[in-house]
Structures are given as C-alpha cells and as structure tokens.
Amino acid sequence: MIFDLDGTLVDSLADLADSMNEVLAAYGHPTHPEEAYRLFVGDGLAQLVERALPADARQNDVVELFTRRMSEAYSRRQTARTRPYPGIPELLRTLAERGLRTAILSNKPDGPAGEIASELLSPHVFDRVRGARPGVPLKPDPTAALELASELATEPAGCAFVGDSEIDIRTGLAAGMLTIGVTWGFRDEDELVASGAQRIVRHPAEVFEIVGGAAASR
C-alpha cells in the first residue's frame, strides 16, 4: 500500500494556507482563502508558491525566494492544525494487523513528510516514507513509486496507490499499480474519475475492503 500524504492521510490544508498567507502578507501581496489552496497544492512546494503569487510576481528568482520563505514558515506550524482524517488511524491499524506493508509517497519535502507521519500517524510505523528529494522526479513521474515497490520486494502489480488527486492516480497508473482515489481530500470525485482512478472510495474502511479482497484472491 502506497499512500499520498496531504489530502489522503492527513488534512493539512489549514497549515499550508496559513504558512503561505503569512509569507504573502509579509511582502505586501494579497492572501487567499483556505479553500483556494485545494487547487494550489499537490505538485510540490515551488508550484504551490508560484500559484499563490500574483501573476506579475512569478519570476524565477521571486519564486525561489518565496519557496524558501514558505518552507521556513511551514516548518514552524506544520502540525499546528493538521490532523489525520477520520478513519485513517483505524485503517492503518487494520492494515498492520493483516500484515500489509505500507509506504508514503508525497511531493512534500522529504523531511516534513517524515516528521508529520511520525508525529500524527503514530503508533503506525510505515515501511518507508518518501517526500521530495533532490534528483528524484516528483509525482506523477512513477520513478519514486517504482523505487518503493522494489525496496519492499513487491511487484508493481501487487501494489495499490492511494491518493486524492489526479497526480496520484497518474502516478499509480504509470507505475502499473492499482489506483484508489479518495473523495475526502483536496480534490473532487470528478477529477479522480477523469484521471482514470480504478476504484473510488468515500471512507477509509473501504480501502481495506478493496485491498483485503485483492490479497485474498491471490
């Protein structure tokens, strides 16, 4: 089981929005309502920053500066308002009890991804937690997903990729994995369907119904 993090396991929208708005306000730029960040996030920190900046302020050097400032602001509050979605702790506990291996693959920077998983999703211990790392393409490139499958000694066809956005579905499909789109995250069901999600779930308990049944049939 490979999970996306933000919008799939944890609701981090408020902390992401608060951090980016803090930086925008410090430089005199307009801020955005929290809901707007649903469409800003998912492609990595630099893309979030570029989308949040006014169109006339998106020069490369400005984006680089604001990306650093956003990283600093977010590091001070990354779990202030972020919480696991209802049902996620129970799902992770069930997966562990049934012996299914779990990993996280996020476009969030690698350090914060690991810290959030450790702080908010404990006592569950993931076999691997991977965020954005130098030299490794971001999702939807399948490189990191295939790397995880190899590290866990599992064929891609034996993996499920679970996420809340088109980026996650495209990643799983490109890697040859079962793709499960969740509707409680940052994007809507229409996006998941249009991107080719093989399964759609509306509650975390449904994830185990899918992967448990698939495991039993093998």
Query: Known catalytic residues?
Result: 4
Peptide bond into 140 cis (omega under 30): yes
CA atoms in the 13 A half-sphere facing the CB of 55: 0
Q: ∠ CA 101-105-111 to the nearest 5 degrees?
A: 110
Question: Any bridge partners for residue 143, and if so which?
Answer: none
Sign of the Cα pseudo-torsion (196, 199, 205, 210, in order): negative
Q: Are strands 103-109 and 128-132 parallel, antiparallel or unpaired?
A: parallel
Pick from 3, 206, 208: which is nearest to 97 by CA? 208
Residue listed under structure tokens 């066809």: 157
Pick from 134, 130, 114: which is nearest to 122 by CA? 114
| DSSP-H helix ranges across the chain | 13-26, 45-52, 60-75, 88-97, 110-120, 143-151, 166-175, 189-194, 204-217
DSSP state of 202: S
